[in-house]
Chain A
Amino acid sequence: MRSVRLAWLSFRLGVLTALQYRANLAIQLLQSLMSVGVALAGVALVYSQTSRLAGWRQEELVGLIGVYMIVAGLLGLVIRPSMERLMEGVRLGTLDFTLTKPADAQLLVSVKQVEVWKAVDVAVGVVVLVFAVLRLGDRVGPDRALAFGFVLAAGVAIIYSFLLILATMAFWLVRLENILVIFGSMYEAGKWPIGIYPPWLRVALTLVVPVAFAITVPIEALTGRLEIATIAVTIGLAAAFLVAARWFWRFGLRHYTGASA
């Protein structure tokens, strides 16, 4: 309970810092609308030539874009900036200040930096997703919505764990900021259903960089393409990822010597 309160406090501090720069809201809004516009136009262009893309209907792909934006927003809101801050902290030695605090260090570093305007991405994504669901009509019942919620949470947990593992490597490799850029490029490929890619790329996007779980799998749940078993596997995998990331973080921490000391 105390840790939840701490995380909330840290998050609130980040929000207050960001609120000082209100002009950035307009810029973020413009950027979010442009990126969603490009993605939707791409989908429209594809469906001007065909009615199905590997079995996917247009509304389903619009929903996929919505999920893509939501997850991108969640990552950009707190996870990515915090991981960048963590890696910088390892390099500069400022991580010392976090580690001396009497609370769980993993929690503290995970919510350290908030880029509040990325919430615009989430909002735009939700609008797009709701629009797509309405177009899908009565085919989305509460069972699918529930499955979607669980799988989306699991997908975000998997990506969070993955990024934490990457960031933890900074304890040994120090200069690693660019590795998040690679993740960004791979994430772009998630704009389309993973199933259309050739096997090697599909494997890369599922196992090497687990983008598939956060974008394709949730929308598959929403459109009723997922078996119960796959949902269970995704949630189980999320739990495994969380445990592994936790273990690796503590293992890495033991190798941290503090650059400033």
Chain B
Amino acid sequence: MSRLLAVYRAKFRTELAIQLAYRGALAIWLIGIVLEPIVSLVVWTTVANGQGGAVGGFTAGEFAAYFTSLLIVNQLTFTWHFWFFEWRIREGFFSPLLLRPVHPIHNDVAENLTFKLLTGTIVVPVAIFLVVAFGATFQTQPWQIAAFVVALGLAMPLRFLAEWTLGAAAFWITRTGAINQAYSVVMLFLSGFLAPLALFPPAIQAVAAVLPFRWMVAFPVEVALGRLAPDQVLAGFAAQLAWIAGLVLVMRVVWAAGTRRYSAVGA
């Protein structure tokens, strides 16, 4: 365990240096990440205001709270590694990673956390600005803030595991772009990116409750807004834990099978 910590410390240091070298690229990521929730926020506040102030149980202020919380939750949970798996395998970049005495997932976790630490210094002030500028209203009680931290803490490994395992599909398929895009589309609908899940037809809500997507993003956001009762929160934690346990298993199987197939192209 302490050896792994030392690995992470070293990785953090080098990653920080690498990522700080590309500040321009960082700024560009940020514009995309920040503009998206602003667009949804504006659309839905317009709808709410047009309908006399509230729609589907959300007032304009609650929409603002929803999409700013979404910005934060997405910032802390999103991963990009699955987009690069194909490239890594095709170009043989997995070979040096496989030679290291730790599982390559740790390399990506460290990369991911470093990027979030860096971008977080800007995303958090932006979120605060949005809360003020759009008059976001929260009905959160103190216990729900604690519950939000736990939900977010579980959503991070959940989404990371799911997307990392998805990326490993590149061991079998040479062009994974279409699969990744299909995943992103499903994610957009079922994890509450497009709109709060409460606004969707009941059938879609039922599907969303069974699949893992809601538990990666929408659930922590709903907890942050104070819209869930204690028993709903506990059930959510259980769903998150179950999915994490399941995905760890799947990831291990997929990874073992994938590395056996890996033939180090480009080596």
Contact = CB atoms under 8 A, between A and B. Distances in A.
Interface of A: 27, 30-31, 34, 37-38, 41-42, 45-46, 48-50, 52-54, 175, 178-179, 181-182, 184-186, 188-189, 191-192, 196-198, 201
B17 interface: no
B31 A182 contact: yes
Interface stretch (B75-83, B192-200, B211-219, B237-245): B192-200
Contacts of A186: 31, 35
Interface in B17-64: 24-25, 28, 31-32, 35-36, 38-39, 42-44, 46-47, 50-51, 55-56
B42 A197 contact: yes
A34 to B, nearest CB: 5
Contacts of A192: 39, 42-43
Given A49-B199, A192-B43, A178 B178 contact: no
Interface residues of B, number: 31
B175 interface: yes
Nearest to B185: A34
B31 A185 contact: yes
B128 interface: no
B42 A196 contact: yes
Contacts of B50: 50, 52-54
B39 A188 contact: yes
Contacts of B189: 38, 41
Contacts of A191: 39
Nearest to B24: A178
Contacts of B117: none
Leading 4 A-B pairs by shortest Cβ distance? A185-B32, A49-B55, A178-B28, A196-B46
B133 to A, nearest CB: 8
27 contacts: A27-B177, A31-B178, A34-B185, A38-B188, A38-B194, A42-B194, A45-B200, A46-B47, A48-B201, A49-B51, A53-B47, A178-B24, A178-B28, A181-B28, A182-B28, A185-B31, A185-B32, A185-B36, A186-B31, A186-B35, A188-B32, A188-B35, A188-B36, A188-B39, A189-B39, A192-B39, A196-B43
A54 B36 CA distance: 19
Say what secondary structure dominates the interface of chain A.
Answer: helix
Interface of B: 24-25, 28, 31-32, 35-36, 38-39, 42-44, 46-47, 50-51, 55-56, 175, 177-178, 181-182, 185, 188-189, 194-195, 199-201
Contacts of B31: 182, 185-186
Given A34-B185, A53-B50, 12 more contacts: A38-B194, A41-B189, A45-B194, A46-B44, A46-B195, A49-B51, A49-B56, A178-B25, A181-B32, A182-B28, A196-B42, A201-B38
A184 B44 CA distance: 22
A261 B56 CA distance: 65
A198 B42 CA distance: 8
A53 B46 contact: yes
Nearest to B43: A192
B114 to A, nearest CB: 20
A52 B200 CA distance: 18
A34 B179 CA distance: 11
A196 B42 CA distance: 7
Contacts of A46: 43-44, 47, 195
> Which one of A31, A37, A49, A181 has the highest number of Cβ atoms from chain B below 10 Å of its Cβ?
A49
A54 B51 CA distance: 11
A27 B177 CA distance: 8
Contacts of A196: 42-43, 46
Contacts of B199: 45, 48-49
Nearest to B32: A185
Contacts of A27: 175, 177-178
Nearest to A191: B39
Contacts of A45: 194-195, 199-200
Contacts of A48: 199, 201
Given A41-B194, A45-B195, A186-B35, A53 B43 contact: yes
A211 to B, nearest CB: 12
Contact of B46 (A54, A181, A182, A201): A54
A8 B44 CA distance: 45
A54 B50 CA distance: 7
A53 B47 CA distance: 6
